[in-house]
Each structure stands twice: as structure tokens, then as C-alpha cells.
Structure 1
């Protein structure tokens, strides 16, 4: 009964927030006409029908999309008023607010859109997928070995942009009657080509360690997060070692499905604050504000869960340690990644210093082959070029088809 009451309160608060966001956005657009660039001849649309908590999914595509927009004009279509307001503030691309299906229909009728990109599997994607003219492409928001990456939902799209051979193998093994050779396009990881602004960290010789756990997941098969299981033991051991500086970066969705997981994350942040109070020179950091990416170039080693962070870090060639999910129902199959790096069981979390030292002293020669398996060519700019070329080819093909049909 109490749980139902809490749920009703939460739903009521959410409804109030949405109404307030609608009014604020409406007033803002009446004052300043902030339907930026909606009269431009767009050829590519990025469809995002989600709440602000998931904006991290599209943020990582800003830079690659800017490259595409140099030759193929790109617009972001947002359906939620709070999300639209934030996108209008921060997105470097034109943003269209389209809360109603009729808004989307009017926009599509006014533009020759040859390509629609999707960064997640929101159920409202189907309201856009019904348009037959453009190519619909799922680009996701990171490459990982999570079961999400081989969902049967991928069959809804004309193409799936994937990072490399590992993703192709994953799809071939998981999906029935899905032609990987024609529908999966290897582009690498364009985000690896981006230079990100980084916060100032002391240059005092400490080894910098990133602990970047994923969220709790919304089902047991996706319960990869380590915050509530490994987190306290890991961080306590890491923070006690004065050779180290720790950057704790929880996933933005931490606690959205299970509030207790969010509480556990707050506890870990408190451990970091206490360690800084005890040793002000330590300079440990709780990072919940910056865009993910600067960590790859600036930090020395990473501890994370089965997630996109793991594969992004793998491409750096620096030491990597994974946690093994404590939930026995989490979907963990042997992969080239998790069989080539240490995996920390929950009952060994307090031994992380020794595990990390071993990982940092190991040769990185074997990682090169694993990186190629997941990302293909990782030379600077190669992935961005492949993304732009694959997108452009689809746009040109669809627009040519439209012309022939008129």
C-alpha cells in the first residue's frame, strides 16, 4: 500500500514537472522563435523521444553529427519539453520540438529526409519508423557486451551501425533471420576521434584511476552494475592507497530503476569526500557533470562493469579491470574482452589493489588484437570518416529513390 502511494506521488510530481516544462518552453519559443533552423533543407534527422536523464545518449553523438552536417544538414527532433529546452541550450545542431505526431508529420512533409538516426530503443521510436521514405538506422549510445546490444528490436531498423567484427559476431549469434552482412554496417567508434575538455587535476605523480560503474539495469539479465555490490569495498581500498587519485563516475541513470542503488552511489560519493577531507592533497573527484571522454586520455587505468565504458577504455590500450556481476542471472557470456582482462568477483572487491597492480604491470601487446576485434581501424579520424560516408551513402540512395518515384 505504501509503495503504491509513493508511486502515485512520483507520477503526480512527474506530471506537474512536464506541465511546467511545457509552459516554459512555449513561452520561450513565443519570445524568441527557438525552433532553430526548421526552415533549412534538412536531409538527416536524429530522433530523440526521451527524458533529460537519457541525454547522455545523444550528447556523445554531437561531434560526429557536426561532421556529417558539414555536407548533409542535420536536425535533432525532440518530443519531451524538458529535454527540448536543454537541447536548445546545449546542442550544436538545430533542434525541432515535435511533441505531437502531427508535428512530426508536418516536418517530414516539408523536408526530404533521407536518413533518421536513433540512439536508443525508446518505444516511441515506432512513431517515426512508420515513415517509409528515409532509411532508419540504429546507432546506439556505445558499444558493449551487454545483451541489449543484440536485441531482437534491431530488426525494426533498415540498418544498424556497429563498431566492428565483435558486434557482427554478436548479432549473428543472437538474431534469427537477420542478415548481418547487408544490414549491419561497421563504422568503428567515432567518439574516439573527439577531444574533450577536461577538469584540472593535480600533477603530482599519483596514478589516476577511473571507477566508472554502470547503472543497475531494469531487469535481472541486465544487472551489470557494481555500485551496490562491489562499490564500497572497491573504493575503500582504492582511497586508502596514497599512490592513487580516484575519479568516481557513476552512470547518469544510477538509481532511476532502483532507488536503493542511487542511495548506494551517494554513499560512495561520501566516501570520496571523506577521503579528500582526510588527505586534502589527494584530489579525488566525483564526476557527474562532465561529458564522458576526457577520462580516456587523462587517466591511467580503469575499473568498470560490463558496459560501453569498458570498450571505450579498451581502445586506449591502458590497464582495464572489469567487475563480474553479483547477480547470477546477469547475462554474461565469454567474450574476447572479459577473457582478456581481470574480472573482480564481489568477494574479492577488497583485493582490488593487488588485482590492479597486476593489470598495470601486464604487457599490453595482447590488447591490440582485441581492440581491432571490437573497433576495426582505430587510426585518428577513421571512424568518423566511416560514419559520415555510411550516412551519406544511405541519404543519397534514399533521395535518389524519392526523385525516381515523383
Structure 2
């Protein structure tokens, strides 16, 4: 639907500008007015969601401002043709002068907008930190930028309409009338911006903002810090650790290097500081920090890895047999914490220079929410969660392109009742647009299957579904109430720095509400309804709990699903053969191996129908312990003990860790 809407906007934009020179050649003021209405209307509707055509025009120096000037120049040509004797009435000459005056009036408004943008783009952004010292005033509405564009377009339209009507009707007074409205709107816009600028004239500048953060660091004295930097949409790699970090002993904080990550940050009670400029980050005193965690291997990590007094630990964002899990860059960390013994062996086999004594098994604290064992009643459910295409051309990266449609089609065609959940990776199509096309087709298959199943059935919800819908609305309303300030729907980043506060009690309530929402969303709709499980309503681990089996690729999703003990299948997308595929990928040792044409699904479905046919159950339990570590003591306990042990060795000036694993009894 959105693509169609964008397409119509682009068509009217192109058609409107094509009509203008035709109207000039034919000396048709009304045709020119029609083209102007199409063009300006398209500009107003399309500004909030730019399309590829608008980006292409902008990149080729044909942006909105140039298009506005183009329309005004063509108007002048039309006016010259409307009076062949070239004796333009004074009113028309006045309107031409008004165009120039409007341009001059745009200069102060543009300067004010630029000043506001620079003033409110703080050197640092924070969450859960007192920002009173930054003197952040109430900012302009988030719609200020689009509103400025709309004011410019409407004022330009008024200025054009007056002379056009004068030329078409011979009523010369219409020309200055339109120009007067144009200038009045331009002056009014400047008057609107003036108080907004005055409210924000005292916001702390760069140096003062950095001093404010240093003052907070000196008072809080953080001991443990997670430093994160990443591309857009990679915030999930950070968010998965927030609850674990909030449960640690001592003073913990989050340090970010990208402003866009602040927009993706999940609600947390931890103090958060974002410093985009590396030199400014390094000029602060972080000497109280004892341990720095890293959830991703990125170049910006060097900013905090230069802290000589801290110990640096890579915790990643999930263990898997992907090459990224044995990145040679990992050798720069003091320690690498893996979920289980498999992570240790993976580095040893890769021989990328990581010291064996630097590898520590801590489990996966996040997996405590995953229910172990058979799901119980209900329609048997299979979750298809392919990974993305990655940055390389390796054909084995993802099953989506070679087998995705076949897998989903076979599952949907099951003769026995079967529900399909489809969860594409957030990065799907980032590098290869063909994967995005496959993703779209799979979504279409699911929609068609649901429409076919719903045909001839009653759409009225049951009493239980009505109750779930009512409670779901209440849960969403309470979440919106608690998190309204956090998400900053009505403000900008400066407003969120000033207002975003979340106590630990509120965070625990938010987590409970999230979990409850995750339970309720499965209670609405038909029990056999296939679902596209994306968005905040569908947490990954909730999808695990709703599934009897998983189909995926080599990724951390498989390792995490192992905590459920349920059957799973992995696609041999490169066609290596089951034996070779299992040899190369640890997580595949207890999996049903699917061929590139989705062969092997019958074995997975047989294990769902009859537990006696599940020949890999015992192997899964063994592999689970190997990949994720023992169930006792808990992963959270092991994580905390590993941190305490590292801090103790740091205090003694002894970084290396004894290779012998800590006995479970010693961790209790």
C-alpha cells in the first residue's frame, strides 16, 4: 500500500512539472495553475516519506528548492506571453518583486532553524541522568522541519496563484493580493520561530555539556560499563543485555557512540550516556571504570579500549557457528565470555590468535525466560526464523533465497493442522535486495493462507478473545503511560535528555507488562492463524515458547532455541551434504538437516507428531549443555561471578585467569 501511495505522489510530481512548460508554450494560465496544484500538492504529501525519485532528484541538484525556483521562472515566462506588448501592469511587476522579498525573508527563518538545530543537538545525550545543569528549555515540535517545508510551499503557491489568476481573468488586483498573502505567511513564520529561539538561547554548549557529564561521572563513579556502537537497526544487540546488566552488583552504565542507537534503546533504569565524538569521549576521566563490556566488534570500540585501567570483555550478542563468532579482532580483548564449552572450542579450532586463558564460560543469562520441554496443547506450531544474507557472498549464509519460499509453502501445505510463524532477520535485504523480494513473497504466502482458512468461518471473537483484547489494550495503555516520556513522541533528543527517567521499580513493571503483552497477543485471533512475528508485540523468546519446532540457519537463534530442548531444523543452503554440514557447524549436530529444496521437513514434522519418532532428543540435551553450559548454577550467577573474579584479579594487578574451569560448587 505504501509503495502505491508513494508511486502516485511521484506521478503527480512529474506530471505537474511536465504540464508547466506545456502551459507556457500554449499560453494557458489555467493549465499552468493545474500543473502547479499537482506539483505543490505532491511536494506537501511526499515530504514526510521521501521516495527514491525525490532522493534521485535531490542528488542531481534538482531538490525541492530548485523545483520551486523552476516553477517561479516558468511563471514569469507565462506572464510575459500573457502581455505580448511586454507592458506588464504595475501589479504584476510588484508580485515579481514579492518573490525576491520572500526569498530574503527566508534567510532569517533559515538562520533561526539552523541555530535551533545546532543548539539542541547537544554534545552529549543522556538517559536517567539529572540534566538540570544543561538548562534545556522546551523545544520546538518534532514537526517543525516538515512544517517549514509546508510553509515555504504554500507561500510559494499563493505567490504564483495571484499572477496566474490576474493573467487568466484580466483582474490585475489579484496579483498583489496573492503576493500579499505570500509575504504575510512568510512574516508570520518568522514571528512564530522567534520565541522558540529565545526559549533555547541558554542551553549549555559543547564544553559546558561535557563538564556536566564529567561532574556526573565523578559523583556516580561507574564500575562496570557496556560500550556500544553500531549501524542503524543494530540496537537489538545492545537491548538484549540491558536486563542482565541492570541485575549486576555495583554501579553499571551504558556508553553509546551513535545518536541513532538512542532512538532504538529499549527502556532501562541504567544511566546512559551518548558521546558521538571519539576525541571528546576520551577527554573524559573514566578511571573509576573497572570492566568494559562489548556486544559487537566495531571500529568505535577502540575509543574505550584505550582505557588502560579497565579490563575489556567481549560478550557478543549470541553464540553461533558463523564466522563473526570467531572474528580475529576478538584477540584485542582481555577476555571473551562465551555461553558454553562450544564457544571455547570454536575459537581454538579457528586459530585466530585468541588466547585460551582469555575464554570464559558464563552461560546466557537472557535464556531464563525460555520454557524447557514440550509446549503442551494447541495447534502444532513451527517457527521459521532465517538469518540475513550477511556482508559476504557465501551461499550458505541464509536459507531465505534458496529455500525460504519452499519451506514456508511446504509447511502451509501440511495435511494436518499446523501453524506457521515467520520471523525474518531485521537486516534482511540490507545488502541483497533479492532477499527483500523473497521476504515480501513469503509474507504474501502467509496472508493468502490465512485468507483461505478464514473463508466461510465466523470472524466474531470468542468471549476469551474479547477478554484478552480488553486486557491487551489496558497493558498497552499502561506501557504508553510509563514510557511516553522515554520515547519522546512530542519532543526531540534534547527533551528526552532532560525528561527520560526510569526507576528500577518502573523498569521491573515495564518488563512484567512486556511479558504479559507477549502472552496476550497469542490469545487473540484464530488458534491456527499463521503469523508474521515482527514488531514489539512479538519478542523472540515468546515466539520460542509458542513454537513446537524451529527452522532456521546457522545463527545464534538456533543456539538460543536449544534452551527449549525442542526439535529444530537447519538448512544446508550451500548444499554441503548432511555429514559435512554437521562436521562444520556444531549447532547442526542435533538438528534435522534440510536440503536447498526444503527436503527433510517431513522428518521434523514426524518428530512433532510422535515423540517416539524424535530420534535426536537425547543428542539435543547433550548439545544444549555443550552450547549453553550447565543449568546449575544459573547463568546469571556465573555471569556475576565471572565479573567479580575479573575485578578481583584486576585489583591484584593480575589479568590472566587460570585455565581450569571454576567448579560449580564454588559458584553457589
Q: For the superposition of Structure 1 and Structure 2, which TM-score range results when normalised by the shorter chain?
A: 0.7 to 0.9
SS in 2 for 1:283: coil
CA RMSD of aligned residues (A): 3.3
Matched, 1:44 2:216: no
Deviation at 1:152, TM superposition (A): 1.3
Match of 1:372 among 615, 620, 625: 625
Larger Rg over CA atoms? 2
Q: CA deviation at 1:205?
A: 2.5
Rounded Cα–Cα distance in structure 2 between residues aligned with 1:222 and 1:130: 37
Q: Deviations over 1:263-312 (max 9, x none)?
A: 21122112112211111343111112133212232311111111111111
TM-score by length of 1: 0.82
Q: 1:67 to 1:195 in 2, by over 3 A?
A: farther
Bigger share in strand:
1
Distance 2:622 2:448 in 1: 41
**TM-score (normalizing by structure 2):** 0.52
Match of 1:232 in 2: 405
Give the whole-Å Cα distance in 2 for the aligned partners of 1:305 and 1:359: 19
Structure-2 residue corresponding to 1:114: 290
In structure 1, C-alpha distance between the alignment counterparts of 2:386 and 2:363, rounded to whole Å:
23
Contact 2:593 / 2:600 at 8 angstroms: preserved in 1?
no
Q: Does 1:362 align with 2:535?
A: no
Aligned to 1:55: 235
Residue 434 (structure 2) aligns with: 260
Kindly indicate whether residue 474 of structure 2 is the aligned counterpart of residue 276 of structure 1. Answer: no
Q: Match of 1:398?
A: 650
Q: Larger relative contact order (C-alpha < 8 A, sep ≥ 6)?
A: 1
Q: How does 1:246-395 map to 2 (within 5 A)?
A: 246-280=420-454, 281=526, 282-289=528-535, 290-326=538-574, 333-347=583-597, 349=598, 351=599, 353-360=601-608, 361-363=613-615, 364-379=617-632, 382-395=634-647
| Aligned position for 1:200 | none
CA distance in structure 2 between the aligned counterparts of 1:382 and 1:164, rounded to whole angstroms? 12
CA distance in 2: counterparts of 1:298 and 1:308, whole angstroms: 18
2:267 corresponding residue in structure 1? 90
Q: Distance in 1 between matches of 2:267 and 2:337?
A: 25
- Residues 96-138 of structure 1 show CA distances to partners (whole Å, capped at 9, x for unaligned) of 011112332244x155001111111112112221221111111
Corresponding residue for 1:134?
310
Q: 1:204 to 1:378 in 2, by over 3 A?
A: closer
Aligned pair in 2 of structure 1 residues 326, 31: CA closer, same or farther (>3 Å)?
farther
Q: What is the CA distance between 1:24 and its match in structure 2? A: 6.8
The gaps in structure 2 that reach 5 residues or longer are 1-51, 60-113, 127-135, 139-208, 455-525, 655-668
Q: What secondary structure is seen at the aligned counterpart in 2 of 1:143?
A: coil
Aligned partners of 1:188 and 1:393: how far apart in 2? 16
Q: Is the 8 A contact 2:331 2:355 kept in 1?
A: no
Alpha-carbon spacing, 1:386–1:338, altered in 2? closer, same or farther (3 Å)? same
Structure 1 residues 302 and 179, CA, compared in 2 at 3 Å: closer, same or farther?
same
